[in-house]
Amino acid sequence: MIDRYENLLRTVRFERADYIPMDFHINSACRHHYPADALAELMARHPMLFPGFDGSAIDAEPELSPWEKAGERYIDGWGCVWETTDDGIVGMVTQHPLESWDKFESYAAPDADTTLRLGPANWDSVAMRSRRPRAVGRLANDSLQHGHTFQTLADIRGYENLLLDMADDEPRLRKLMEMVEEFNLGVVNRCVAIGAEWMGYPDDLGMQAGPMLSPEHFRKYIKPSYQKLIKPARRTGCIIHIHSDGDIRALADDLIDCGPDVLNIQDLVNGIDWIAERLKGRVCIDLDIDRVQVTRFGSPADIDALIREEVQKLGSAQGGLMMIYGLYPDVPLENVEALMHAMERYATYYS
């Protein structure tokens, strides 16, 4: 059997992978919402999802970032104030540094040499991490931080203000966008220089019904920046991974036009049949499995049926499908186990 590294490459390139790459991520907040032993036992029973799992590691308290600590305020490199109500859950921006344009003349971007927006940049450490993966059968995976462009602009200005800026073609918005783009480009260039093989571009653009900005405004303001940020990584042969939560059907063609190898998209909010009809075969689909409907409120049988349907409609012996699930608190443990079983069971099942 080919190793995980080769299987992932074959999946992305539609070169007949042995199985569908399955990723099961457990959010840090789960540690104080579930009995630790219960999660450890589930992880130990599912080696495909948790290869090399060391049960002793589950006893250690997860190290939380400042923006994941309840009751604390964190100010990021752009001056945005973050707060959360649950340890382990990334907070939200509660104060926008440019809610008014009054302070724009003295406003400055962070330095990509020293910060990644959320937290300091330690490029020596990133370089060491990037050199190591190939030896253990993984890609050197680097990424812009989540919300790199649209969400950063919304956090700086406030969401409603940003949409009005776009509608008014506010000239100061253009200057702010240049600042954000230059910062992001600095991060991308540093990742590429230290050997990135996989470059991620995560930026949530969708709501539960439709995108957070019009397709016209996406094409005018956001898409050109995406294309510039992708170019350095594409030039060196990196696999390009674009992520967005929410309903992005109206933006999907433009996102694919930006040139991703992999598009991470949520399943039910976009529709399994729509994804199959419009995206299958055009781009490798990294399918984000439902976290709020079936896996939380359905039965184990419902969960098994969901994963089977998704693999049956979107999978192919040629490749082109990856799947990921993010576990957050309040999903019943029997459903967690059912999902783990289904992801392993259907990893080699194709229509």
Q: How far apart are CA 338 and CA 169, in angstroms?
A: 50
Model confidence at 132, pLDDT cuts 50, 70, 90, reads: low
Q: Token pair for residue 108?
A: 């400055």
Calpha distance 26→223 (Å, rounded):
32
Domains defined for the chain, CATH in brackets: 1-63+267-351 (no CATH), 66-250 (3.20.20.210)
Token code pair at residue 306: 């969901």
Q: Render pLDDT for 215-248 as a digit per residue (tens, 0 to 9).
A: 999 999 999 999 999 999 999 999 999 999 999 9
What pLDDT, on a 0 to 100 scale, did the predictor assign at position 59?
56
Q: Helices in the chain by DSSP H: which ranges?
A: 4-13, 36-44, 123-131, 150-157, 159-168, 171-193, 215-217, 223-235, 252-257, 272-278, 294-297, 300-314, 333-345
Q: Scanning the structure block, which residue is given the tokens 């230290």? A: 194
The pLDDT value recorded for residue 152 is 98
Q: In this predicted structure, what is the pLDDT of residue 58? A: 61
pLDDT digit string (tens) for 19-57?
999 999 999 999 999 997 899 999 999 999 998 887 765
> Which pLDDT score, from 0 to 100, does residue 62 have?
73
